[in-house]
């Protein structure tokens, strides 16, 4: 079996007639200035999606994106250009533009390439061709039938199946020569239910870095039923209360709390610049002692996982918060060098046409001691939020929000009426200190998270056990509760 | 104008590329015919640009971008297939068109599919005058950003840090063609300057920003003004307070009102309507907002950010009203969504073009006076908007209004309500529309919303 680097070289360079020796010499030219790092990032990605609506598979699309990004780094400065042709002429032109960042002559030596074969966290399979187009179309129709059969209130069903296959290769003046072959698949089901003149939407989805062979109707039916269930719950929802209250967050996807409340604030760029509310706090208590939060890009087949990051560094498990103490930041090469530390393998970019930044992979809180039932029964009056849409954070002030899409009142230790979707708002460092119980039921999300930063989207994972936050503001409409 | 290691894209004149891109469209449409498509439509784009950011007076990033790609939608009978690529060599054209055709063999027939009717294409192309290249060197772009940031940093000693300032210039050519024989194109530029600053006091750090954007480089706000405005806005946010939970009047700043108007346009858009995913189903001709609100579009304004002579389906754009004194006059329809609803396209495939908000206008100061005691919202966070029910709950920050004046900064609160009620509760709109945006919203006063705070 050939390794990833051979496959990447064959796929990215061979059709263009380029050799790795030519690329090495090009890097030499790029780096005849006072550069700290010269990087070439080759990428070839293919994506396909199929969508069902009104009971028929009416949309299908396919896209191919190929190109090379050239980055020249000198101190805190970065020059960047890219080409959507992988040809020597186009790369040379991009390199000429990128190195304009460095002015004076120098003689940075290009290190000999070290072929780096990272541990494989997922098979390099091409998911697009893993099942036939006929099978894909038939599956979508079957999912539609399952959702409609679930309840007569179901009026509209939308199903989308997406698969992509990305081959990347990184060659850098520090000797990096790595590649990654990244499959990514997801299935999304969304329904609209209508009863007594009231309409609601419910959605569910799942995916990861694998092929489509597990996408069968037995598996997909669970997703369809979950979409219908959440829609039906919301049909009966009452207005949510407004103001500060105790909130119990369910396990799994509600871990978006950690992504927003601490994850973004612990990215190396914000902390190198001193613009994060967590800047300069390493070694200090920033969360309740019950909290241990990690970012782990090495989990098998997870949506946020990578074999190597987009600078060719092997991904790792980074402990961000241990028993409430801030222990680490997420780093790429540039920020690690400027902060005198090492890259944690968290450099990510949306494509060859974007600059990499420190980003999260799979971010979650480790399990605690409490039984989830015990956590709920400890709350006299509050809210139990089990599913969320997205979130957002201002890393400078630490303010963050995340929006509940399925939540219930807790009254006298019991989960009672469902409440309408509402936004929760808090300040990261304050909310993390108000976590008073952590469940023993750690779960990761189902694999459909997308993280946006500076206009770039990357797939991520989140997770957590059931948590109790003693006080956070809930943005409902009912005052005076 | 070109430095030795200059922008590889400088020197590209898109007026000269337009012809070649039109030929490319014709070549792709021919290929579609070859693979058996009964009809097809193609979009080709070519973009290039430069963006230079500085931080603390030093250059941080110099980024050059240059893209070219195409997308094809082809139909085999009533079946549809879509494919796109960043490659436009002959092999890629063949492969991409074949991919689209293959998809069209597996999708199912839908009578609403197909090109827009030929008589809906524009008969002539108005000159919208959108192309005004800015031949700026990376050095000069950096200099401009440095002046911008320096003005902000020097404004107040509480400005303690910076995310920097950025100068950017982008040029784009879009060509759309279909098998009716229509081919249309436009070239445009978009330039900008922005600054994001951080201020700190005993209560912690706050950030804010300001930007200017225009199709003409000469119309950008002065660099120093952008930096100063970013600084003023950042300083004003220091030491925010929470306010008590309750119901209060809320004024949306023009920047935030853009989103509020956007949700209304979304709810009367064909895609949401035919999917029954809107809280304003069957609303044509009915009253959905206060009589103080009217919304219309003017797609042919020269040199404007949102101008276009045809939409994503090649359908000619026209001036039209969407909401007149609170009543829905037109939905926003693409060719497909119009057919799904048994109506005809409004030329809004891809959205609106220069949306104008009008109605009962008062001076912004008077608007605050009418609010009396309430919230002036300058930032909203999160995605807490349910398009099916209209339920709205978002994180907010801004300023507390006391006796009709901005009094102190507020944050870590939410505002909530239902959009159906919120639009009916528009008391009046300001005289301060934000012309930088395709949705030119002014500030908007809502009679009352629920605030959740302390």
Beta-carbon contacts of residue B117 (< 8 Å; ≥ 6 apart): none
Q: Residue A97 is nearest to which of B64, B68, B103, comparing CB atoms?
A: B64
Residue A374 has which token pair? 């015990």
Mean pLDDT of A216-238: 97
Q: How far apart are CA B242 and CA B453, in angstroms?
A: 6
- Best of A105, A242, A430 to disrupt the B interface (most B CBs within 10 Å) is A242
Residue A96 has which token pair? 């000429």
CB contact under 8 A, A474 and B113: no
E-only strand ranges, A282-380? 293-296, 317-322, 325-326, 347-348, 357-358, 362-365
- Best of A35, A74, A397, A472 to disrupt the B interface (most B CBs within 10 Å) is A397
CB B196 within 8 A of CB B233: no
* Chain A environment of B389 (Cβ under 8 Å): 198-200, 420
Distance of residue B392 Cα from the nearest chain A Cα, in angstroms: 8
Quick one: pLDDT at residue B3? 30
Size of interface A-B (CB pairs under 8 A): 267
**pLDDT tens-digit series, residues A198-214:** 999 999 999 999 999 99
Beta-carbon contacts of residue B435 (< 8 Å; ≥ 6 apart): B305
Chain A touched by B259 (CB under 8 Å): no
Q: At what angle do helices A20-30 and A88-98 cross, to 10 degrees?
A: 20
Average pLDDT for chain A: 94
Quick one: pLDDT at residue A88? 86
Residue B56 has which token pair? 């603390």
Residue A1: band (very low, low, confident or very high) from pLDDT cuts 50, 70, 90: very low
Q: Select from B396, B399, B364 the least CA-distant residue to B379.
A: B396
Helix (H, G, I), strand (E, B) or coil at A429: helix
Beta-carbon contacts of residue A17 (< 8 Å; ≥ 6 apart): none
Give the DSSP H or E segment for A263. none
Percentage of residues of chain B with pLDDT beyond 90? 94
* Minimum CA–CA partner of A140 in chain B: B107
Give the DSSP H or E segment for A177. strand A176-195
Q: How far apart are CA B220 and CA B165, in angstroms?
A: 14
> For the whole model, what pTM was predicted?
0.95
Mean pLDDT of A76-98: 88
**pLDDT tens-digit series, residues A293-332:** 999 999 999 999 999 999 999 999 999 999 999 999 999 9
- Best of B382, B394, B454 to disrupt the A interface (most A CBs within 10 Å) is B382
* Chain B environment of A134 (Cβ under 8 Å): 106
> What is the CB neighbour count within 10 angstroms for residue A108?
20
CATH architecture for the domain at B15-236:
2-Layer Sandwich (3.30)
* Chain A environment of B242 (Cβ under 8 Å): 473
Mean pLDDT of A464-481: 93
Residue B302 CA, distance from chain mean position = 17
CB contact under 8 A, A273 and B68: no
CB contact under 8 A, A242 and B113: no
Q: Residue B452 is nearest to which of A57, A82, A475, comparing CB atoms?
A: A475
Percentage of residues of chain B with pLDDT beyond 70? 98
Residue B313 scores a pLDDT above 70: yes
Residue A346: band (very low, low, confident or very high) from pLDDT cuts 50, 70, 90: very high
Q: Select from A49, A61, A60, A54 the least CA-distant residue to A147.
A: A54
Chain A touched by B287 (CB under 8 Å): no
CB contact under 8 A, A61 and B163: no
Distance of residue B141 Cα from the nearest chain A Cα, in angstroms: 13
Quick one: pLDDT at residue A403? 94
Question: Which part of chain B has CATH 3.30.2290.10?
Answer: 15-236
Positive/negative CA dihedral, A13, A16, A20, A24 = negative
* Chain B environment of A84 (Cβ under 8 Å): 66-69, 86-87
The maximal CA–CA distance of chain A, rounded, in angstroms, is 76
Angle at B359 between CA B355 and CA B361, to 5 degrees: 110
* Chain B environment of A58 (Cβ under 8 Å): 80, 107-108, 110, 113
Q: Report in angstroms the alpha-carbon separations of B117 from A58, B77, B316.
A: 20, 15, 11
Mean pLDDT of B221-248: 97
Q: Residue A63 is nearest to which of B83, B242, B246, comparing CB atoms?
A: B83
CB B176 within 8 A of CB B308: no
- Best of A97, A102, A450 to disrupt the B interface (most B CBs within 10 Å) is A97
Q: How far apart are CA A172 and CA A262, in angstroms?
A: 31
Q: Residue A476 is nearest to which of B103, B394, B416, comparing CB atoms?
A: B416
* Chain A environment of B246 (Cβ under 8 Å): 479
Q: Residue B82 is nearest to which of A60, A392, A400, comparing CB atoms?
A: A60
Q: Which residues pair with A422 in a beta bridge?
A: A404
Q: Select from A131, A187, A199 the least CA-distant residue to A158.
A: A187
Please indicate whether residue B154 or residue A29 has the higher confidence score (pLDDT). Answer: B154
CB A206 within 8 A of CB A55: no
Residue A121 backbone phi and psi in degrees, to 5: -95, -5
Q: Residue A63 is nearest to which of B58, B81, B85, comparing CB atoms?
A: B85
Give the DSSP H or E segment for A416. strand A414-419
Q: How far apart are CA A328 and CA A282, in angstroms?
A: 7
CB contact under 8 A, A475 and B108: no
Angle at A266 between CA B54 and CA B211, to 5 degrees: 35
CB contact under 8 A, A420 and B67: no
* Chain A environment of B394 (Cβ under 8 Å): 401, 423, 475
Tokens 């102190």 belong to which residue?
B408
């Amino acid at each position: 079996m050939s390794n990833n680097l051979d496959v990447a070289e064959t796929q990215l360079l061979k059709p263009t007639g380029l050799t790795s020796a030519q690329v090495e010499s090009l890097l030499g030219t790029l780096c005849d200035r006072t550069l700290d790092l010269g990087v070439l990032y080759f990428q070839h990605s293919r994506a396909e999606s199929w969508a069902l609506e009104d009971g028929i598979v009416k949309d299908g699309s396919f896209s191919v994106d190929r190109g090379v990004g050239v980055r020249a780094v000198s101190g805190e400065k970065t020059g960047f250009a890219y080409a959507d042709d992988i040809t020597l002429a186009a790369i040379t032109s991009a390199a000429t533009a990128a190195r304009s960042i460095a002015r004076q002559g120098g003689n940075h030596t290009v290190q000999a390439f070290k072929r780096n074969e990272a541990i494989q966290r997922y098979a390099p399979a091409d998911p697009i061709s893993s099942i036939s187009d006929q099978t894909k179309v038939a599956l979508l129709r079957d999912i539609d039938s399952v959702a409609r059969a679930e309840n007569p209130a179901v009026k509209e069903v939308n199903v989308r199946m997406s698969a992509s296959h990305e081959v990347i290769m990184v060659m850098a003046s520090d000797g990096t020569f790595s590649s990654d072959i990244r499959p990514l698949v997801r299935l999304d089901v969304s329904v609209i239910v209508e009863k007594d003149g009231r309409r609601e939407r419910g959605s569910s989805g799942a995916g990861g870095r694998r092929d489509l062979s597990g996408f069968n109707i037995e598996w997909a039916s669970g997703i369809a039923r979950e979409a219908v269930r959440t829609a039906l719950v919301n049909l009966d929802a009452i207005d949510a209360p407004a103001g500060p209250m105790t909130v119990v967050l369910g396990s799994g996807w509600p871990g978006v709390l950690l992504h927003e409340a601490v994850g973004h604030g612990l990215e190396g760029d914000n902390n190198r610049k001193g613009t994060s509310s967590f800047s300069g706090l390493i070694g200090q208590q920033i969360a309740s002692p019950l909290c241990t939060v990690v970012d782990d890009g090495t989990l098998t087949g997870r949506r946020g996982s990578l074999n190597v990051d987009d600078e060719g560094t092997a991904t790792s498990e980074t402990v961000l918060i241990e028993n409430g103490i801030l222990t680490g930041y997420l780093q790429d090469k540039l920020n690690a060098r400027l902060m005198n530390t090492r890259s944690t393998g968290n450099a990510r970019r949306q494509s060859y046409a974007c600059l990499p930044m420190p980003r999260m992979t799979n971010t979650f809180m480790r399990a605690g001691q409490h039984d989830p039932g015990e956590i709920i029964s400890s709350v006299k009056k509050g809210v139990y939020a089990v599913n969320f849409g997205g979130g957002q954070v201002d890393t400078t002030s630490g303010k963050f929000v995340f929006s509940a899409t399925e939540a219930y009142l807790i009254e006298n230790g019991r989960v009672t009426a469902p409440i309408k979707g509402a936004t929760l708002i808090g300040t990261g460092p304050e909310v993390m200190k108000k976590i008073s119980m952590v469940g023993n039921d750690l779960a990761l999300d189902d694999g459909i998270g997308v993280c946006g930063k500076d206009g770039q989207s990357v797939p991520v994972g989140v997770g957590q056990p059931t948590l109790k936050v003693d006080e956070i503001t809930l943005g409902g409409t009912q005052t005076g509760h | 104008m070109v430095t030795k290691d200059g922008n590889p894209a400088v020197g590209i004149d898109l007026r000269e590329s337009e012809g070649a891109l039109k030929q490319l469209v014709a070549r792709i449409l021919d290929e579609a015919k070859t693979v058996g498509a009964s009809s097809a439509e193609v979009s080709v784009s070519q973009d290039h640009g430069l963006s230079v950011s500085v931080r603390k007076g030093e250059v941080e990033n110099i980024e050059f971008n240059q893209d070219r790609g195409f997308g094809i939608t082809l139909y085999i009978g009533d079946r549809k297939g879509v494919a796109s690529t960043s490659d436009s060599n002959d092999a890629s054209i063949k492969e991409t068109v074949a991919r689209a055709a293959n998809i069209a063999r597996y999708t199912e027939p839908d009578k609403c599919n197909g090109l827009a009717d030929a008589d809906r294409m524009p008969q002539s192309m108005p000159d919208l005058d959108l192309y005004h290249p800015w031949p700026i060197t990376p050095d000069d772009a950096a200099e401009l950003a440095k002046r911008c940031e320096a003005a902000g940093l020097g404004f107040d000693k509480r400005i303690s840090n910076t995310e920097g300032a950025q100068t950017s210039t982008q040029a784009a050519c879009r060509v759309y063609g279909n098998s009716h024989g229509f081919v249309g194109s436009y070239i445009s530029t978009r330039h900008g300057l922005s600054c994001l600053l951080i201020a700190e006091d005993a209560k912690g750090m706050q950030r804010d920003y300001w930007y200017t954007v225009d199709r003409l480089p000469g119309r950008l706000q002065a660099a120093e003004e952008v930096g100063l405005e970013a600084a003023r806005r950042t300083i004003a946010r220091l030491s925010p307070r929470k306010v008590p939970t309750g119901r209060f009047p809320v004024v949306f700043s023009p920047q935030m009102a853009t989103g509020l108007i956007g949700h209304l346009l979304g709810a009367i858009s064909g895609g949401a309507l035919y999917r029954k995913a809107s809280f304003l189903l069957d609303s044509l001709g009915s009253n959905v907002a206060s009589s103080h609100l009217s919304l219309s579009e003017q797609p042919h304004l020269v040199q404007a950010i949102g101008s276009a002579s045809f939409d994503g389906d090649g359908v000619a754009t026209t001036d039209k009203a969407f909401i007149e004194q609170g009543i829905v006059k037109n939905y926003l329809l693409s060719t497909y969504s119009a057919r799904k609803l048994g109506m005809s396209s409004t030329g809004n495939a891809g959205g609106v073009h220069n949306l104008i908000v009008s109605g009962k206008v008062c001076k912004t100061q008077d608007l605050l006076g009418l609010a009396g005691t309430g919230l002036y919202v300058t930032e909203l966070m999160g995605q807490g908007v349910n398009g099916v029910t209209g339920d709205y709950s978002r994180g907010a920050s801004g300023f507390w209004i006391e006796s009709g004046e901005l009094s102190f900064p507020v944050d870590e609160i939410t505002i909530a309500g239902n959009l159906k009620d919120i639009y009916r509760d528009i008391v009046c709109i300001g005289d301060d529309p934000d012309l930088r945006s395709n949705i030119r919203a002014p500030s908007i006063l809502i009679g009352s919303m629920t605030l959740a705070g302390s």
